[in-house]
Each structure stands twice: as structure tokens, then as C-alpha cells.
Chains A and B, each alone.
Chain A
Amino acid sequence: MTATPAPAPRTAAPLPSPIKIALARAAVETKVLFRERDAVVFTFALPIVFLVLFASIFSGVAEGTGVTVAQLYTAGLIGSGVMGTGFQNLGIGIAGDREDGTLKRLAGLPMPRPAYFIGKIISVLVMTVLQVAILLAIAVLFYGLELPSEVSAWATFAWVFVLGVSAAAVLGIAVSSLPRSGKSAAAVISLPFVVLQFVSGVFIPITELPDWLVNAASIFPLKWMCQGFRSVFLGDAGAALELTGSYELGRVALVLAAWLIGGLVLCVTTFRWKGRRDG
């Protein structure tokens, strides 16, 4: 056996910057998201189908406030859309990546691991922005939704949206480690999401729910996200429809930020790069 001396390391050049790699991940993840045609159709079509359904079933105006059904459901469906792309799609997608070896392959690369998460979150942001734009366009064109004109309303929209998408995405990343396999992921992740939509004011106005359900829903971010979006699209007139008579924007920010931080901690501590059969 011949042991030749160790060759000098060949790569004198420094490794590419983590930011460059994260952006490359974002580009690839976004490309892949849009190429999965079924998922794209589902993501974009579902909120629109719900909007058409609800606007047809409950037409009219909430008494005394001038708030239209279109306004109410647009706000709720944006919240559920954010949760759908960030939490549900992302969670199921990552569970699939873990099952089929995508994650394992990436873990073997000289890639800073946060780059993977940043790529996922940016791709979710892009997807959700488009989803919301389409939903708003349809609500404006066909259901007479009037977009707010004040800058402050859009500023609120921006922070609720960014905070909401980030919180949903880190929770999606965290929840992806929960299902035992990629196959069970859809069931494990979709169930809590569907339940949350019913109790958080997406489908049914939160004022119609029993107290204990409202209390339970108030633990989770979706209720607060929808509340934030209502403040944007219903305006001051709609505040009377809230349980407390106010949109409580401070609490919205607080709860969403708490979920974002909690989700980040969960991601860092519980994320599995390997499937259960990978030893």
C-alpha cells in the first residue's frame, strides 16, 4: 500500500457567499413551485372558488356598517391563502423532500443550511403575493370590492402580510418534521389547517362562534392574521363587527411575532434532514 503525501487543498478560492447560495435556492424553489402544475392550480384557484361560493351564498351587507360580504371574505381568504401556501403547502412539500431524498442530497452539499429555509420562504412569498393579487383583482372586478386608498391601510397590509407569511412559513417548516412519512404528511398537516379556517373567521364570522372556540382559535395565528386583513379591507366601519369593537392591531403584531419566533426555535431544534429510513 502506498500512502502518497496529502495533496495541497485544491480550492484556494473562497466558497461562494451564503447570500448568493440562498438567492440561488430561492430561484430554484420558485421555479419548481410554478412547475408543479396541480399545486399551482390548487393554490390559485381555491381561494377564488371560495370567494365565488361565499359571495353567492351570502350576498348583501352587514347591517348598520355598510360592510359587504366581498370585503369580509376577501380579508378572510387572504389570511387562509397565506396559511395555505406558507403552512400547508410548504409543510407537505418539505415532508416530500425528506421522503424522496432531496433533503439528504442537499445536506451533503457545502451549502449553509439556512440557505435552504430562506429559499423556501422567499418562494412562498412570491407565490403568495401572486395569489393575493389574483384574488384582489377578482374581488374588485366582479364583486365590487373597493381597495383602500390610504397609505396607512397599505402599510398595515404590508406588515401583516410579511409577518403572517413568515410565521406561516416557519411553522410549515417546523410541522414538516411531524409526519412519519411523506405519504401521511397531507393528512397530518391539512387537518389542523382546515379546522383553523373554520374557527378563525375565514368561513364563518368569528362573532357567530361560541366563546370557548374563539378562545381556542385566539391561540393560533390565523385568527389574528384575518383580523389584521379585515382592518385593511373593512376599514373603520367594520371595527364594530369585531368582538372587542376594535381590530387590536397591537395584539395582532404581538401574536404573529410570537409565532414567528416560536416557529424559528422549533425549526432550529427539531428540523430533521433525514427521513426515518436514512439511519
Chain B
Amino acid sequence: MILPGWILGGMKHAIRVRGLKKRYGEVQAVAGLDLDVAHGEVFAVLGPNGAGKSTTVEILEGYRERDEGEVTVLGRDPARPTREWRSRIGIVLQTADDRAELTVRETLRHFATCYANPRDPDELMEQVGLADSAGKRIRQLSGGQRRRVDVALGVIGRPELLFLDEPTTGFDPEARRQFWDLIAGLARDGTTIVLTTHYLEEAEALADRVAVVARGRVVAEGDPATLGGRGTAKARVAWSEGEIETDTPTAAVLELSRRYDGEIPGLTVTRPTLEDVYLRLIEAGEPLADGAPQTVGSAS
């Protein structure tokens, strides 16, 4: 049997996006974006404010309509969602400020009634650190507690594919670690996860792959450890009287040590962090900002 390519693509990947475009009035929010996310993968989308991350993610979730491009999410076009399709997807939106008079427990139990095989609300509250707030009304929660409810609601239906749009905004460091554990656990169980974040250490801790989006398109993509040539980048050896970039830092340190006859004053040896690479990529994308017409098409 011969299957058309888009069906095969949709089966091989949890998400497949080609040439996605979306504009709001004068703003080209997404300008020809391509993405592939494999089943079971944890995929992080990085990018500056206004890069088009939320627009892209909400198109994939079936919330926003696209202007152009091919999109397949779990084998379907998200512009035509079905209940069955929705039940396989978990969503944590970037902004959720509904101030309900329901308690945390009531809210989780209620959302659970929409799914075939939901997670146990009490266990889930434990996992996201809401056990002590179970009886509190949503309206009375702190910002970070409120966000934990969002995350809990996103995973309550045991989604195959989970979208998290800046999920840890407002989390204290402990809550963030707890969240990382939760996500790592979901990933181990085979959940595909798409996450946007401004915390690069979060992307590094969680993601199998990252994409850097700037001005509505992907400017770099890959393993966070090697993104933008990071894996093979030269190391920087710095000391109080100078610094060099080198492929052979050990040799350089030995050489310096000989020169200083022992201790090298103020020695540090570093490789570029994900943040260094990210900032370089974002700056490289910048010239497009100066009114240059954005080229149409599927470059990259």
C-alpha cells in the first residue's frame, strides 16, 4: 500500500510543521517556521520575547488559526480538532489568570471527569506540591501555586503530547526542581513534551533537543550540548594577565603553569554555556529587525 507522505510524516513524528506563517495586522509573528518533534522526545523552544513561540504553540494546540503552512499534530491538522484528539493532548498556556471560586481539589476532580483514564487528583496534587493547598480556592493561591495548578491540569488526562508554554514562571527554585522531576518522569513514560522557556538551564536539564526561534523562524536547532557548535567550540583560558581561546586548554594551562612557575594567578577555563550560544544566535538574527522585508519561503 502506498501512503501519501504527509500520513507517514504524521505517524513518524508527533509534530510536523512546514512553512508555518501567521500575521497579526502588520506583525509577522511566525514567518515560515519548520519543526519536527519525534514521539517521546522532550523538545524545548527558546527565543526572545515576541519571537512567535506562543503563537506557534497555540496553533499546534488548535487555539489559533494559521495563515499558511502544513501542520500535523498526532496525525491530525490541529485546525480541525476532535474530542478524541484533544484527549491525547495536555495544554499549559502561558497566561491563565482565571480566578475561580473552586478549590484546587474540586478543579482537578472536575477536569478529570473529561478524560477516559485520568490521573488520580490527590496523587497529582502531591506530585506538584499542592497537597497543602488542596482545600484552598484557586482565587486565593499565590502566583506560583496558581501555576502549579495549571501544570497539574495540563497532565491530569495522561496526555501523549504535552505542551508547556513557560510553565515555571513564578516558581521558586524548589518548585522548579519538583517540576523538572515531574517532567522527567513523564518523559520516561514516553510522553512527548514541547516546552517553551526563558530559563536556559531548564532547557538544558530537560530537553533532548532545542530550537531557537527568532522573528518567527527557527534560527538553530539541535542537542543543547552541541547547539550552535557549542560542543566543538574552543575553550577559553583566562588568567589575570590575559586570555586565549584554544582547542587544547590543557596544553595551554601547562604552558602557563611553566611560565608562572606553578600557580597561575586568577585561572579559569570555560566553554561557552548554552546562554552564550543562545545570545550569539539571537544577535545574529537581529539584522532582520531593521525594516528589511522578511524573505518568504522555506529557507533553512
Residues of A within 8 A of B (CB): 1-7, 9-11, 13-16, 20-21, 24, 28, 31-32, 35-36, 97, 100-102, 104-105, 107-112, 274, 278-279
Contact = CB atoms under 8 A, between A and B. Distances in A.
Given A9-B88, A36-B101, A105 B113 contact: no
Given A21-B114, A24-B110, 9 more contacts: A1-B36, A13-B117, A16-B115, A31-B101, A100-B99, A104-B93, A105-B96, A108-B86, A278-B63
Interface residues of B, number: 48
B121 interface: no
Contacts, number: 114
A274 B102 contact: no
Nearest to B36: A1
A102 B101 contact: no
B160 interface: yes
Nearest to A109: B114
Given A28-B110, A112-B83, A3 B116 contact: no
Most buried by B among A5, A9, A109, A278: A109
A28 B113 CA distance: 12
A108 B111 CA distance: 11
Contacts of B40: 4, 7
A36 B102 CA distance: 10
Contacts of B61: 108
A10 B110 CA distance: 21
B38 A110 contact: no
Q: Which 8 A-B pairs have the closest CB atoms?
A: A110-B87, A35-B101, A13-B116, A110-B86, A102-B98, A3-B38, A279-B64, A24-B113
Contacts of B160: 7, 9-10
Given A1-B36, A16-B116, A11 B102 contact: no
A108 B91 contact: yes
Nearest to A34: B101
B63 A107 contact: yes
Most buried by B among A6, A36, A102, A274: A6
Contacts of B41: 2
A7 B161 CA distance: 11
B162 to A, nearest CB: 12
Nearest to B209: A1
A13 B115 CA distance: 9
9 contacts: A1-B36, A3-B36, A3-B39, A21-B113, A101-B95, A101-B98, A105-B153, A278-B64, A279-B63
B24 interface: yes
Contacts of A111: 83, 114
Given A9-B160, A11-B88, A100 B98 contact: yes
Provide the main secondary structure of the chain B interface.
Answer: loop
A269 B100 CA distance: 27
Contacts of A24: 110, 113
A105 B92 CA distance: 9
A32 B96 CA distance: 18
A279 B67 CA distance: 12
Given A6-B39, A101-B97, A105-B153, A15 B12 contact: no
B93 A105 contact: yes
B13 interface: yes
B83 A110 contact: yes
A111 B40 CA distance: 25
Contacts of B93: 101, 104-105, 108
B86 A100 contact: no
Interface in B62-87: 62-64, 75, 83-84, 86-87
Nearest to B83: A110
A16 B41 CA distance: 29
Nearest to A102: B98
Contacts of A112: 83
Contacts of A31: 101-102, 106
Contacts of A108: 61-63, 86, 89, 91, 93
A200 to B, nearest CB: 32
B55 interface: yes
